[in-house]
Amino acid sequence: MRRAAICLLLAAALGGCTFNWVENLAAVRVRSSNARVGDPRRGEELFRQGIGAAPPCITCHALARGGFSLGPPMEGIAARAATRIAGLSAEGYLRQSILDPQAFTAPGFRPIMYPDYALHLADQDVADLIAFLMGL
């Protein structure tokens, strides 16, 4: 949202402020606040196969506990994510972890997650991944 507002203000400044930027900012805020409904089946596909040049999540994250995993296993992730950061929902935590993996590192793991998912995943892709993860 902050990035969209900055872009909108910059466009207004560069364009000579020929439009009502307050109305446009309000429109951006409404579009940004609309939560996307994730498709867990597509999320599982993205988790297992990746997208574009981004590696699949399963490269480092096992689905079940008990085996070797470079990153935290995903079984029970919804419950753990809900308690990681005070005031941040499980969905919010997962979104942040996907798009900004250096923001928080799960205890017992190193900060080695692929850093550029934000460049490869559309908002709908992230919503789909979160829908899949929330069901594990």
pLDDT tens per residue across span 58-92: 999 999 998 889 999 999 999 999 999 999 999 99
* Same-domain check for residues 14 and 78: no
User: Do residues 28 and 73 share a domain?
Assistant: no
Residue 50: CATH number of its domain: 1.10.760.10
Nearest Cα to Cα of residue 48 among 32, 60, 33? 60
Q: What does the alpha-carbon distance between residue 43 and residue 129 come to, in Å, rounded to a whole number? A: 4
User: Is pLDDT of 17 > 80?
Assistant: no
- The pLDDT mean for the chain works out to 81
**Are 126 and 103 found together in one domain?**
yes
Residues 92 and 128 in one domain: yes
Q: How many domains does the chain have?
A: 2
107 is in which domain, residue-wise?
40-134
